[in-house]
Structure 1
Amino acid sequence: MESFFSAFVSSGTDTSLSIWGAIGYALVACVLGIIISVTYMRTGVTSKNFARTLIVLPVLVCVVMLAVNGNLGTGLGVVGAFSLVRFRSLQGSSRDIGFVFFAMAIGIVCAIGELLLAGIFTVLICVIHIILSVCKFAEADSNEKDLRITIPENLDYSEIFDDLFAKYTKTHLLLSVRTTNMGSMYEIEYRIKLKNDLEEKKLLDDIRMRNGNLTVICGRCDMSDVGQL
């Protein structure tokens, strides 16, 4: 593969590629991006737009690196600026962020001409993702649920629901507390395991009676979260 693409390198300088050489590198980056995107779709919850972006991202990174004519520092600066668009628009999960850096890294490796290395590491990292997905490594218990409760600021949240948790849950863990509605309310997030799933409505009703009928949300926890019971 390396000898094939070396034919596209112009004879002027080592850092300059002909237009066909650049297209060749970009096509390889696109193929590897497809592999990365398929792995993303097969190993967890998927987003259509994000899966498509993973195909395009290595190509864009590769083109940017080639456009700066081998100046690695300038290329990384421009690519870093582009990557901020993702994080400013929507906070992704750690898995999404990992795939972003994966795709960017492969694009950079393709741009410097190490096509074989890019292919090897794409396959290796994708295989690792597939193995971890099949083995369900570090996945949360499917019986765990996230419970979000809103309470007025005049209530002490430290032990207000302990008796209800003792009655309805096997285990409970306080994950976070944050202020909301201009500081007039608190939003408390717990990770719980119910003793009996059929009693979920009773738990929510009892909580609503105690928090003044403010918002209560209970649902399956995000499997990508690291906080487990």
Structure 2
Amino acid sequence: METINFEDIFKSSILEKTSNFSIIDSVIGLIVAFLVGLFIYYVYKKTFSGVIYSHTFNISLIIMSMTTALIIIGISSNVLLSLGMVGALSIVRFRTPIKDPMDIVYLFWAIVAGILCGAGFIPLVVIGSILIGLVLILFGNRVRVENPYLLVVRYNETSIEKTMEHVISEHVKKHSVKSKSIMPGNDFEVTYEVRVKENDMIFINHISNIEGVKSAIMLSYDGNFTA
């Protein structure tokens, strides 16, 4: 008769998988992923040139590098787990739109860094991140992105349109009409895309003082406009 001892009761495949798991290598990979994520965080904050800086997006770059490293560490020693992880991730859908191409670059950088850290290529991820960071800092500080503005003017007489065009032409480098509509009460509203001269916004006061103009506001935007 076969006897069952205490060890046989608690014998599990989980313990067998744990025996092949290196805690030291995993901790080192996660720490390096965190440090690389901090470096990406600093570079993104240093080179950001958009309209509104998103601190939460920048923090997500650190978390993304660490979670990617965690996934790679988990599936590196188990083929079945890797297949299951691919199937699980295939149903994930990200709804948040990313309009700035540079944000996609930073997301891809964080993912690649996490993959390399999880796979144990520590020297490669360190050297590569330093070189990528230097390139982004160098060219990010040299190239200044000039964000346009939207000038929305509401008026009640079409005869003052030439006067508005004249004032705008004198004070901005470039302008174009994006939309024009008739509002309730026989009012008109026109939207210009303007590129100002060294952030000179004084001309909006001249437009507001034109007889017949009810309101004039300036909006900063990222270049995407839907009429």
Aligned-pair distance for 1:30?
0.9
> 2:27, 2:180 → 1: CA distance?
50
| Counterpart among 100, 103, 106 of residue 107 in structure 2 | 100
CA shift, 1:172, in A, is 3.0
Partner of 1:164: 164
CA distance in 2, matches of 1:124, 1:74: 34
1:201 aligns with 2:188: no
**Any idea what the Cα deviations from partners look like across 1:133-167, whole Å, max 9, x if unmatched?**
332x1432xxx750242779xxx9xxx95652333
Following superposition, the deviation at residue 79 of structure 1 comes to: 5.8
Which residue, out of 114, 119, 128, partners 1:112?
A: 119
Q: Which of 144, 149, 154 is equivalent to 2:152?
A: 149
Q: Distance in 1 between matches of 2:129 and 2:90?
A: 21
Structure 2 counterpart of 1:47, one-letter code? S
User: 2: CA distance between counterparts of 1:209 and 1:74?
Assistant: 67
Cα distance change of structure 1 residues 65 and 80 upon mapping to structure 2, 3 Å threshold: farther
Amino acid at match of 1:173: H
- 1:218 match: 218
Deviation for aligned residue 1:122: 0.8
Measure, in 2, the Cα distance between the counterparts of 1:77 and 1:161.
59
Partner AA of 1:128 in structure 2: V
Whichever residue aligns with residue 121 of structure 1, its letter is: G
Structure 1's unaligned 5+ residue stretches are 1-11, 180-184
Q: Residue type of the partner of 2:48?
A: G
- Please tell me whether Structure 1 or Structure 2 has the larger radius of gyration of its CA atoms: 2
* Whole-angstrom distance in 2 between the partners of 1:106 and 1:36: 10
Once the two structures are TM-superposed, the CA of residue 53 in structure 1 deviates from its matched residue by 1.9
TM-score by length of 1: 0.62
Equivalent residue number for residue 29 of structure 1? 33
SS at match of 2:218: strand
Structure 2 partner of 1:174 = 176
Identity of aligned residues (%): 16
Q: State how far apart, in whole Å, the 1-side matches of 2:180 and 2:96 are.
A: 22
Deviation at 1:20, TM superposition (A): 3.1
Mapped partners of 1:128, 1:74: distance in 2: 37
Range moving further from structure 2, 21-30 or 38-47: 38-47
Q: How many residues align?
A: 191
Mapped partners of 2:177, 2:88: distance in 1: 37
1:60 deviates by: 0.6
Corresponding residue number in structure 2 for 1:192 = 195
1:53–1:35 CA distance, 2 compared to 1 (3 A):
same
Unaligned runs of 5+ in 2: 1-15, 182-187
CA RMSD of aligned residues (A): 4.2
Which of 18, 25, 48 lines up with 2:22 in the alignment? 18
SS in 1 for 2:202: helix
